[in-house]
Amino acid sequence: MLINTFIHIPGVGAVTEKRLWSAGLLDWHQVDSAGSRDIPAKSLMRIAACMAESCEHLDKNNPAYFADHLPAGEHWRFFPQFRKTTAFIDIETTGMEMFGSEITTIALYDGESIRYYVQGQNLDAFMDDIEKYNVIVTYNGKTFDVPFIEKYFRIRLNHAHIDLRYVLKSLGFSGGLKLCEKALGLDRGDLDGVDGFFAVLLWREFEQTGNIKVLETLLAYNIEDVVNLETLMVTAYNMKLKDTPFSRTHALPLPEMPDIPFKPDLSIIERLRQKFPFF
């Protein structure tokens, strides 16, 4: 879909882009041969110059250029082109506020491999591993996960960033990751009802008891977040395609769910719910 995109050109919005498609200008490679179409020559010259720059950044495998030039709700467009270097990430913390809180666990999924990082064990390994990718996908990561990571590790994540909160909101879905999942038919099974606040309780319980089953329950929850992000990304991509001429040719198959290496302990979840009924 990226090479069919024109709205990253200054002055080209959704309406103009659809006019270009209707005039037969369906991708970047057709710009040079578009002279006979119903597109003003001056506009074609401007588009051609921008397409040359776009092709250069695509050849250099630079998704950041497109992330910078596309609205946040349109970042879905560059996902397939850079999927092989995309990481789905999510963090859990000791509290929901950035100041005074710490990262407890991080989950990373690239469509093939699951990696997880735990405070006091291997958390710093995340800094090296994330540099293997040039795109990250989160839900609400622009206001929470990424600033939290950058502050905690004192680093900058310069990756192109697809925040599904904005993409899904443009499709009419909002209210948090779990609500979006339910609205789109994703079932959390034994982890239904567990959320970020509950993850804080799980970490506190692990710190107090050292019970490995508590940590495994937290990791099962954290990892399911990132695995579901891939499904949501593909689902949102296909839904956005329906408003373009490319829905039949560019649609992506839903990914297969990988085996999550940890299972939640239902007795622990139930005990904490009874102890903290407001959750």
**pLDDT recorded at residue 11:** 84
Q: Is residue 193 a contact partner of residue 278, using CB atoms and an 8 Å limit?
A: no
State pTM to two decimals. Answer: 0.93
Q: Name the one residue in this structure whose structure tokens are 């051609």.
A: 48
Q: Which residues contact 184 (CB under 8 A, 6 or more apart)?
A: 173, 232, 235
pLDDT band, very low/low/confident/very high, at 25 (cuts 50, 70, 90): confident
Q: Name the one residue in this structure whose structure tokens are 């099962």.
A: 220
* Mean pLDDT over the full length of the chain: 92
**pLDDT recorded at residue 41:** 73
**pLDDT recorded at residue 48:** 83
**pLDDT recorded at residue 243:** 93
Q: Is pLDDT above 70 for 34?
A: no
What number of other Cβ atoms are within 10 A of residue 99's Cβ? 6
- Separation of alpha carbons 81 and 131, rounded Å: 18
Measured CA distances, 125 to 94, 116, 119, 120, 121 (Å): 19, 9, 11, 11, 9
Domain positions in the chain are 2-60, 80-275
Better-predicted residue by pLDDT, 276 or 191: 191
- Separation of alpha carbons 183 and 251, rounded Å: 20
**pLDDT recorded at residue 36:** 46
What number of other Cβ atoms are within 10 A of residue 249's Cβ? 10
Measured CA distances, 208 to 102, 201, 211, 212 (Å): 16, 11, 8, 11
Local structure of 117: helix, strand or coil: strand
Q: Is 40 exposed, middle or buried (0-12, 13-18, 19+ CB in 10 A)?
A: exposed
**pLDDT recorded at residue 227:** 97
pLDDT band, very low/low/confident/very high, at 276 (cuts 50, 70, 90): confident
Arch. (CATH architecture) of 80-275: 2-Layer Sandwich (3.30)
Calculate mean pLDDT across residues 24-44. Answer: 72
pLDDT band, very low/low/confident/very high, at 96 (cuts 50, 70, 90): low
Calculate mean pLDDT across residues 42-49. Answer: 80
Local structure of 89: helix, strand or coil: strand
Q: Is pLDDT above 60 for 143?
A: yes
- Separation of alpha carbons 241 and 254, rounded Å: 14
**pLDDT recorded at residue 10:** 87
Calculate mean pLDDT across residues 75-86. Answer: 97
Percent above pLDDT 70 for the chain: 95
Calculate mean pLDDT across residues 135-164. Answer: 96
Better-predicted residue by pLDDT, 247 or 37: 247
**pLDDT recorded at residue 49:** 84
pLDDT band, very low/low/confident/very high, at 43 (cuts 50, 70, 90): confident
pLDDT in tens, 50-70: 888 999 999 999 999 999 999
pLDDT band, very low/low/confident/very high, at 237 (cuts 50, 70, 90): very high
Percent above pLDDT 90 for the chain: 78
